[in-house]
Amino acid sequence: MGEPWLKQHCIVVIGGTSGMGLSAAKAFITEGARVVVTGPDVVSTNEAQTILGPSAKAMVADARKEGTAEEAIGVCRESFGAFHGLYHVAGGSGRKLGDGPLHEMTTEGWAQTLDWNLSSTMLSNRAAIRSWLDRKESGSILNMGTALAEHPAPTFFATHAYAAAKSAVVGFSKSVAAYYAQHNIRVNVVAPGLTDTPMAKRAVNDPEIMAFVKSKQRLDGGRSASPSDLDGAAVFLLSPSASFITGQVLCVDGGWGIVSEGQIST
């Protein structure tokens, strides 16, 4: 067996105490990394600390607030001696906030959904970039996108503010990647399809929606993704093996983006 992919790497996961973020943090540790994870509440943060063990520091923090990422990066440097990578996972559907089809969307829902998904990404990325520039260090950022940004599914997933925010994450990431490539700082995006996380329970528990998802995400018999399905992509893109990759979007969507809506299996 070769060396672990992330040996001696120190990574901050914003939104790393549950779902895709927690799964990735476990994978990072397995591959030799030490991690700092942030989450919005005490219960999930304590649970994450127990699960991740001594190679991790879990902290309660709101990804939408200025200073959160700076604090997490500071904890990473103080606890583990370095900071090599940022994985921004925090965000999610704004349906409960007032997002939805445009004619039903509230102004508050629009603002809060963009704040949760896009502004939080800007804040964490800015903190990482500043930290590396101040020390003349290289680094790698991985941001969270979605298949819905490029491949809408209006029948069941009409949350227009969320789609706008995640589309903006892609444009933002590419722009930042282009500007900071000269500093050997990489920025990429991973774009999942429907993934079985606490935030996806509306869809996962609805037989009609899941029948649709299985017709779109056809790999492995047709199913929703598990958080662990994204781990390999995250490990790779934050590792030295991806050192010549920046400004890219890697879709981990089970085929969502290449199967037309309503297409019937034959």
Q: How far is CA 231 from the centre of its chain?
A: 11
Is 87 considered catalytic here?
A: no
Contact 4, 28 (CB under 8 A): no
DSSP 58-76: EEE--TTSTTHHHHHHHHH
User: CA-to-CA distance for 125 and 112, rounded, in angstroms?
Assistant: 19
Edge-to-edge strand ranges of the sheet holding 185-192: 56-60, 34-39, 10-14, 85-88, 139-144, 185-192, 249-252
Structure tokens at 243: 């050192």
- Residue 210 corresponds to which amino acid? M
List the helix and strand counts (H, then E) for the chain: 9, 7
Query: Locate tokens 């919005």: which residue?
Result: 40
User: CA-to-CA distance for 130 and 60, rounded, in angstroms?
Assistant: 22
The active-site residue out of 87, 162, 179, 180 is 162
Residues assigned a catalytic role: 162
